[in-house]
C-alpha cells in the first residue's frame, strides 16, 4: 500500500462500552483525515460486536481485525472483578496483537497505535515498532485525572481516603468523595488495585491522551491537566478532548419503521413523554430491585421503554389466549397493567436511535459514559442510577455540576432503591417543572457538543492536532526509508 496518509491502529478491549467509541474514533480518522485505520478487537461477545460492525455506513471504511479469543481461566481468580478479567485478557492478547501488527506492516506500517484504558500494556509494542502511542479514554477528564494521579497518592490513599474517609484530592480538580470513588481504589490487596496503579503509571508514558469529552464540558479539569497547581499536576502528557464520540443514528426515520418495533411504538407516543430505562451492556439489578423498579415505573403512571437484558425472546406482550407473558421476576400482571404505557425490550435495544426519538423525555441510566454522552447529544435529561466503575463520579458531575440529572437516593443500610423513590424521580423529570429546567440545560450542552465537533470546534481541532502529529511522524518514517 503506497500512501502519503498515515495508517493508525486502534485496539479495543472487550465490552460494547469500549468498542463503540473506538469504532467512532476510527471513523473520524477516516472521514475527517482520510487516514487508513485498522481496529483490533478483543471480543467476548461476537454476535453483539458483529451487530455494531453492521452499523458502519460503509463496511470497507475500517479494517476490523478480530484477535483470537484467549483462555484466562487458569490465570485469574474466578471471583475477580470484571475489570481484572478484562485486563488479564488484554495482557494475554499481546502476542496475537504483535503478530497482527507485523502482518499489517507488510502493507503500510501503522504510524500510531491507539489503545484504550485497559490496553495500555500494548504501548510496548508501539515502542518496538517505533510507532506513536496514544491512550484513548472512553470516559471523561475527571475520571482520567483520578486514574492518572492515583500512583502519586497511593501511599496516603489507604490512610486518608479509605480509613479516614477523606475525599481524594486531585490537583486543580473536584475532589472525589469516598462514596463516589472507584472500587479499584478501595482494597490495596485486590489485584484490581495493583492493576490500576500500573495503569496510572503507564498512561502518562503515552505521546498523548485522547478523551471522550470536550473543552466546554469540563473546562476546570482540562485546565488542571495543562498547568501545575499548588498541589502539583495530574499529568504532563498532552491531553486531547475529542468528544463527544457517539454512534450516529441510523437513518431509520422518516422512512416508515416497523410497527412492531420499539421505534414503531415510540412513533405513537406524545413528544418528550417516555422514560427510557437501561443499565448498559453490563449493569444488572438484584431480583428484589427489579421488582421495585417495575413498581416505581408503574406507580409513576408515565410511559416507559425498559431494556431488560435478563429477558429473552420478542417484546413482551399480552398474548391472544389472555396469558400475560410477564416474566416471573417482575410483579404479577405487570405487562397487562402497563400494556398501553410501557414496553419491555429484551436484551439489546437500538439505544442511539431511541434516545434521538422526539418521544423520549428522560433516561434512567447507570451513567456509563457512552450512555451519558448519547443522552446529552440528544438533549435528554437523566435519572442517575450509578452501579459500578466510574459511574458514581459521572452521576455527581451530571447532578451537582451540570444540573442535567436527578440522582436516586441510595441508603447504605438498605441497598435497594425503593419504588416510591423511583416513582418520584420519574415524575420529577417527565411531569414536574423541574424537568423543564434540566431539559433546557441539557439542550445547552447538546448545542455546546455540536459546536465542539463542528469544523471550527475545539474537539475537531484537538483531533486535527493528533492527526498532524501522525502525518509528521509518517513523513519522518518515509524520509528515513528513502535515506
Active-site residue list: 18, 116
20/294 with CB nearer ligand UDP:
20
For the chain, give the secondary structure using H, E and C: CCCCCCEEEEEECCCHHHHHHHHHHHHHHHHHHCCEEEEEECCCCHHHHHHHHHCCCCCCCCEEEECCCCCCCCCCCCCCCHHHHHHHHHHHHHHHHHHHHHHHHCCCCCCEEEEEHHHHHHHHHHHHCCCEEEEEECCCHHHHHHHHHHHHHHHHHHHHHHHCCCCECCCCCCCECHHHCCHHHCCCCCHHHHHHHHHHHHHHHCCEEEECCCCCCCHHHHHHCCCCECCECCCCCCEEECCCCCCCCCCCCCCCCCCCCHHHHHHCCCCCCEEEEECCCCCCCCHHHHHHHHHHHHHHCCEEEEEECCCCCCCCCECCCCCECCCCCCCCCHHHHCCCCEEEEECCCCHHHHHCCCCEEEEEECCCHHHHHHHHHCCCCEEECCCCCCHHHHHHHHHHHCCCEEECCCCCCCCCCCHHHHHHHHHHHHCCHHHHHHHHHHHHHHHHHHHHHCCCCHHHHHHHHHHHHHHHHHHHHHHHHHC
Site string for ligand UDP, 255-294 (x = CB under 6 A): -----------------------x-xxxx-----------
Q: Which of residues 352-411 bind ligand UDP (CB under 6 A)?
A: 352, 368-371, 374
81/469 with CB nearer ligand UDP:
81
23/125 with CB nearer ligand UDP:
23
CB of 82 to ligand UDP, least distance (A): 10
Region near ligand UDP per CB under 6 A, out of 14-22, 142-150, 235-243, 456-464: 14-22
> Among residues 8, 9, 11, 20, which is the contact residue for ligand UDP, using CB under 6 A?
20
CB of 139 to ligand UDP, least distance (A): 8
> Among residues 5, 7, 14, 15, which is the contact residue for ligand UDP, using CB under 6 A?
15
CB of 305 to ligand UDP, least distance (A): 10
Region near ligand UDP per CB under 6 A, out of 16-24, 60-68, 404-412, 445-453: 16-24
Contact between 207 and ligand UDP per CB under 6 A: no
CB of 252 to ligand UDP, least distance (A): 14
Q: Which of residues 307-326 bind ligand UDP (CB under 6 A)?
A: 307
Contact between 458 and ligand UDP per CB under 6 A: no
Contact between 16 and ligand UDP per CB under 6 A: yes
CB of 364 to ligand UDP, least distance (A): 13
Q: Which residue is nearest to ligand UDP (CB)?
A: 17
Contact between 140 and ligand UDP per CB under 6 A: no
CB of 22 to ligand UDP, least distance (A): 11
Contact positions vs ligand UDP (CB under 6 A) = 15-17, 20, 278, 280-283, 307, 348-349, 351-352, 368-371, 374
Amino acid at each position: 500500500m503506497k500512501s502519503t496518509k498515515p495508517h493508525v491502529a486502534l485496539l479495543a478491549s472487550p465490552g460494547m462500552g469500549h468498542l463503540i467509541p473506538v469504532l467512532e474514533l476510527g471513523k473520524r480518522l477516516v472521514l475527517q483525515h482520510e487516514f487508513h485505520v485498522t481496529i483490533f478487537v478483543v471480543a467476548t461477545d461476537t454476535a453483539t460486536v458483529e451487530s455494531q460492525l453492521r452499523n458502519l455506513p460503509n463496511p470497507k471504511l475500517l479494517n476490523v481485525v478480530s484477535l483470537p479469543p484467549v483462555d484466562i481461566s487458569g490465570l485469574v481468580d474466578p471471583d475477580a472483578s470484571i475489570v481484572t478479567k478484562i485486563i488479564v485478557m488484554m495482557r494475554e492478547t499481546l502476542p496475537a496483537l504483535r503478530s497482527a501488527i507485523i502482518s499489517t506492516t507488510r502493507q503500510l506500517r501503522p504510524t500510531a497505535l491507539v489503545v484504550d484504558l485497559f490496553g495500555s500494556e500494548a504501548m510496548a509494542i508501539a515502542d518496538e515498532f517505533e510507532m506513536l502511542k496514544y491512550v484513548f479514554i472512553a470516559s471523561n477528564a475527571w475520571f482520567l485525572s483520578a486514574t492518572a494521579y492515583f500512583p502519586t497518592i497511593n501511599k496516603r490513599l489507604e490512610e486518608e481516603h479509605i480509613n479516614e474517609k477523606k475525599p481524594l484530592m486531585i490537583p486543580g480538580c473536584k475532589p472525589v468523595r469516598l462514596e463516589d470513588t472507584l472500587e479499584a481504589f478501595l482494597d490495596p490487596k485486590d489485584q484490581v488495585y495493583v492493576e490500576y496503579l500500573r495503569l496510572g503509571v503507564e498512561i502518562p508514558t503515552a505521546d498523548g491522551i485522547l478523551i471522550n469529552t470536550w473543552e466546554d464540558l469540563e473546562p476546570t479539569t482540562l485546565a488542571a491537566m495543562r498547568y501545575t497547581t499548588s498541589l502539583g499536576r495530574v499529568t504532563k502528557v498532552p491531553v486531547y478532548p475529542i468528544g463527544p464520540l457517539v454512534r450516529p443514528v441510523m437513518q431509520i426515520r422518516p422512512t416508515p419503521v416497523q410497527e412492531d418495533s420499539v421505534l414503531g411504538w415510540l412513533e405513537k407516543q406524545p413528544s418528550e413523554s417516555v422514560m427510557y430505562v437501561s443499565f448498559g451492556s453490563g449493569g444488572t439489578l438484584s431480583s428484589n430491585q427489579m421488582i421495585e423498579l417495575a413498581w416505581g415505573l408503574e406507580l409513576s403512571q408515565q410511559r416507559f421503554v425498559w431494556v431488560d437484558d435478563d429477558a429473552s425472546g420478542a417484546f413482551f406482550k399480552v398474548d391472544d389466549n389472555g396469558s400475560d407473558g410477564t416474566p416471573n421476576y417482575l410483579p404479577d400482571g405487570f405487562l397487562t397493567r402497563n400494556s398501553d404505557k410501557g414496553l419491555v425490550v429484551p436484551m439489546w435495544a437500538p439505544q442511539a436511535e431511541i434516545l434521538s426519538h422526539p418521544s423520549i423525555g428522560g433516561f434512567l441510566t447507570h451513567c456509563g459514559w457512552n450512555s451519558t454522552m448519547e443522552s446529552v447529544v440528544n438533549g435528554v435529561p437523566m435519572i442517575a442510577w450509578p452501579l459500578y466503575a466510574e459511574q458514581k463520579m459521572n452521576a455527581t458531575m451530571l447532578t451537582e455540576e451540570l444540573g442535567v440529572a436527578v440522582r436516586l437516593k441510595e441508603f447504605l443500610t438498605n441497598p435497594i432503591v425503593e419504588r416510591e423513590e423511583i416513582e418520584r424521580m420519574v415524575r420529577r423529570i417527565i411531569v414536574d417543572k423541574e424537568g423543564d429546567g434540566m431539559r433546557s440545560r441539557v439542550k445547552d450542552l447538546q448545542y455546546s457538543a455540536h459546536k465542539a465537533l463542528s469544523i471550527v470546534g475545539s474537539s475537531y481541532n484537538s483531533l486535527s492536532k493528533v492527526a498532524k502529529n501522525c502525518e509528521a511522524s509518517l513523513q519522518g518514517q518515509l524520509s528515513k526509508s528513502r535515506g
